[in-house]
Structure 1
Amino acid sequence: MTVVDDTTEAVGTGLMQAVIMLDGALELVTVPIPTPGPREVLVKVRATGICGSDLHCLAHTSELLAAAKVVTGADLFDIHKPVVMGHEFCAEVVAYGPETRGTLPPGTRVASPGFLLRDPFILLGYGGTDIPGGYAEYMLLSEDLLAPVPDHVPDEIAALAEPMTVALHAVNRGKLGPDDVPLVIGCGPIGLAVIAILKMRGIGPIVAADFSPSRREMARELGADVVVDPAEASPYESWRQVAETGDPERMARPNVLFPPGLRPAAVFECVGIPGMIQQVLAGAPACSKVIVAGVCMEPDSFLPSVAILKEIDLVFTIAFTLEEYQEVLGHLASGALQVAPMVTDRVGLAEVPEAFARLSKPGQDVKIVVVPAGH
C-alpha cells in the first residue's frame, strides 16, 4: 500500500473501531485498518446510512443467507464470523493501493456504489473486518468506482445516494407513463425515496399510505399529494378518487371484466412483510403495475388468480445500475432531488446497536446516519 496521507493518528497505529455483527448481535470492537489491494483505495468513512436491509440482515440472517445461496449458489457471508455492515456511505480518500492512478488528492470526499471490483466482485456491508462496510472508521473502495462529492453536498446527503438510487431503479422498473398515477404503500426510507424520485420527475398526483403519523408528514414534505392513514381510509379508494378521468386517451388499458374510467396505476409495495403482496393485489385496480420494493425475508404467499383476473403486471426490484447511481449523484448535486428531511438523527459508532433497536420499531426515525468521527 502506498500511503499518500498519514495525517490521522489511527492510520499510524494501524487500528480502527468498527461495529461487527456476530451471532445475532452488534458490538463495537477494535480491529486492524484494512489494506487496499490492486486498484483499491483506503478511505475514511464520514457518514453511513443505516439501511432497512441491514435491519433485515440482523433479524433474519439465516433467511437472507438461504435466499442468497439459492440465487447465486454461494454463501453471502459466514454466519459464524464477524461482519461489518454498512453500504450507504460518504468517505474521503486516505491511501492508494498498488496499480492505482491516484488522481483524487488525499482528503477528497467521495461516494461509491457498495461493492469492490474483485473477481468475484464483493458486496460491501457483508464482508469481514478485512473488507468492512461503512460501520467502521475506514474501509476499502475500488478506484474506478469513486465519484467526487461536490463541496456543497453534505456528507449525509451524499450517503443517501445509494438508497435514492434503489428508489430510482424501482421507478425505472415500473416504466411509468405520463398518465400513470402512483400509489406508494409504506413510507419508510425506500417508500419516501420513491416519493422523492416521483416528485422530481413530475409524476403524479402521488398517493402515499402509512400508519405512522410522522412518516405520513414526511411523505407530504417530500412531495406526496394525498397521504392516507390505512387505519382510517382505504389507500386504494383514495387513489381512485384522484385517478378518475373521462378522457379515453388517459385511461388504463381496457379489460372487459372491469369498467374503464381510471388512469393507469403504479403501486409501489415498500413494506416488505408477509401478506403485503396479496393485500396490494386485492386492492389495486385492474391492469395495474405492482412494483415490489419492500424486502420480505419470510415465506409469503398470494393468490395468482387475483392477479390473473386483474391482468396485473408484478415486478420485483432491488439494487441499480452504475448509470443510475451517477444520475442520482448528479440530481443531489444540482438540488433537483431534495432529500434532507429524511435524515432524522445522527449517531456515533458506539450508538449503532441502540439505533438499530429504534429503527426496528417504526416511530419518529426515518433515516439514521452513522458518523464514525462523532456527530
Structure 2
Amino acid sequence: MNMRAVVLQHGALSLADVSVPKPGAGEVLVRTLATGICGSDLHTVSHGEKLLASARAVAGIEIFDPAERIVLGHEICAEIVEYGPDCRKIHAIGTRVVSAPFIIRPTPVTLGFGTLETPGGLGQYMVLSEALLIPVPDHVSNDLATLAEPLAVAVHAVNRGAVAGDAVPIVIGCGPIGLAIIAVLKSRGIGPIVAADFSNARREMARTLGADVVVDPRETSPYDAWREVAAVSEPERIARQTPMFPGHAFRPCVVFECVGAPGMIQRILAGAPPCSKVVVVGLCMEEDRFQPTYAIMKEIDLAFCIAFSIEEFIEAFTQIASGKLDVRPLITSQIGLKDVPDAFTRLANPENDIKIIVHPQDA
C-alpha cells in the first residue's frame, strides 16, 4: 500500500509515492490530518548540512542522512487507523490525536527526521508511539491542534526565562515562535509586553496575540520603549541593582531573542537593561560573535533553549484545548501536499504568511 508524501533528498523537496509505514511494538499507524510547517523545517531544507554538522559536533549524532529520502513535519494532528503489536488500545480507531514529535524505540526517532519507515507529517500516514498520544477534543480543529508543538517551544522558552509576574518582557522577532511566546506571556498575566519586528504584518499579529507595545526597530528602539513602560517608583518593584548602574529604577527585564541571525546576541547585549535575562530561542545557523564585556558589566544572564519537555507539550495542548491560549490567528494559510515546495518559498517572506498548515489528504 502506497501513500503520497513530500520527500526531502539532497536538499530538494518533491512529491512522491512511497510505502505506508508499518507500526512496530507499542506503536500506532495514523492518517495525517494536518501538519504545520515549522521554521526548523525551513532550516533543514536551506541549511541542512550546517544543521547536521552542528548536531554531529555538539552531540555526536547524525540527525538524518541527506542522501536518504526523509519526510519532514512534526507539528501534527492525526487519526488512529491501526494498532501495532503490544499496544494497550486505550483510544478507539478513528480517534484524533496529537503527539510530541518522538517515537519511543531503543534508538529514539525524532519525528520529521526519520527515514521512510518513520515519516513525518508531510506524508499521508505516520507511525506514532501509543504512550505519547493525546486525544483531541471534538471542539478543537485539526489545524488548531497542530499548534501544540510550537506553543510547547514557547512554553519552554518562557520557563527558561523564569519570568516573574512583575517582569516586563521584550520579544525581539515576531515569527511564529516569537508570536507564540507573546501568547504564552499574555496567558500568564505577564506584561506589559514589548515586541519588535521589521515586518508590518508580524507587528500587527503581535498586537493581536497580546503585545502591549509594538515597535519597528528601524524607527524606535525596543529598549527605549521598554524604559517608558518599565519605570517604577516603588522600591519593592525595582529590579536587582549593581554598583555600575546605580539608581536604575526599572522593573525586571527578560529579553527573548527569536530571530536567529548573526549579530543579534551582541545587539541585544548592547541594548538590554542591566541585570536583564536574555533567552536565545532563535536558531542561528552561522558562526556568531559577541563581546562578553557587555554582558559582564551589565551582569546579564544569558540562556539558550531548544524544544521542550513532554510535560510542557501537554501543558501547551491543554491550554489550547481549554481556550486559555487562543492562537488561531497564527494560522494564515491551508494547502495540500502538492503546494508544499512553493510554501517553503513563500515563508521566506515574512509579509506573506505566519503559519501554513498542510492537509496531507489533499494530495
Query: For the Cα contact (< 8 Å) 1:42–1:139, is it kept in 2?
Result: yes
Q: Deviations over 1:123-178 (max 9, x none)?
A: 01111211100000000100000000000001111100000000000000000112
Structure 1: stretches of 5+ with no match in the other structure: 1-13
The RMSD of aligned alpha carbons is: 0.9
1:359 to 347, 351, 358: 347
Q: Does 1:89 align with 2:92?
A: no
Query: For the Cα contact (< 8 Å) 1:215–1:364, is it kept in 2?
Result: no
SS of alignment partner, residue 144 of structure 2: helix
Q: Does 1:294 align with 2:282?
A: yes
Cα offset, 1:55, TM superposition: 0.5
Cα offset, 1:72, TM superposition: 2.2
- Size of the aligned set, in residue pairs, is 362
Question: Which segments of structure 1 move beyond 4 Å, counting only runs of 4 or more?
Answer: none
Cross-structure match for 1:131: 118
Q: Deviations over 1:282-336 (max 9, x none)?
A: 1100000000010111111111111111100000011111111111111111100
Cross-structure match for 1:201: 188
Cα offset, 1:262, TM superposition: 0.8
Cross-structure match for 2:298: 310
Q: Deviations over 1:30-66 (max 9, x none)?
A: 0000000000000000110000011111111111001
Cross-structure match for 1:334: 322
Q: Deviations over 1:50-94 (max 9, x none)?
A: 000111111111110011112221211111111111010000000
Structure 2: stretches of 5+ with no match in the other structure: none
TM-score, with structure 2 as normaliser:
0.98
Query: For the Cα contact (< 8 Å) 2:201–2:350, is it kept in 1?
Result: no
SS of alignment partner, residue 133 of structure 1: coil
Cross-structure match for 1:141: 128
> Quick one: distance in 1 between partners of 2:279 and 2:323?
27
> Quick one: distance in 2 between partners of 1:310 and 1:120?
44
1:22 to 5, 9, 21: 9
> Quick one: distance in 1 between partners of 2:296 and 2:355?
37
Cα offset, 1:106, TM superposition: 1.1
1:176 to 138, 160, 163: 163
Cross-structure match for 2:31: 44
Cα offset, 1:364, TM superposition: 2.7
> Quick one: distance in 1 between partners of 2:348 and 2:212?
27
* Letter in structure 2 aligned against 1:162: E
Cross-structure match for 2:18: 31
Cross-structure match for 1:11: none
Cα offset, 1:374, TM superposition: 2.6
Cross-structure match for 1:268: 256
> Quick one: distance in 1 between partners of 2:244 and 2:59?
40
* Letter in structure 2 aligned against 1:341: P
Query: For the Cα contact (< 8 Å) 2:83–2:89, is it kept in 1?
Result: yes
> Quick one: distance in 2 between partners of 1:177 and 1:159?
28
Cross-structure match for 2:103: 116
Cross-structure match for 1:285: 273
* Letter in structure 2 aligned against 1:325: F
Q: Does 1:220 align with 2:207?
A: yes
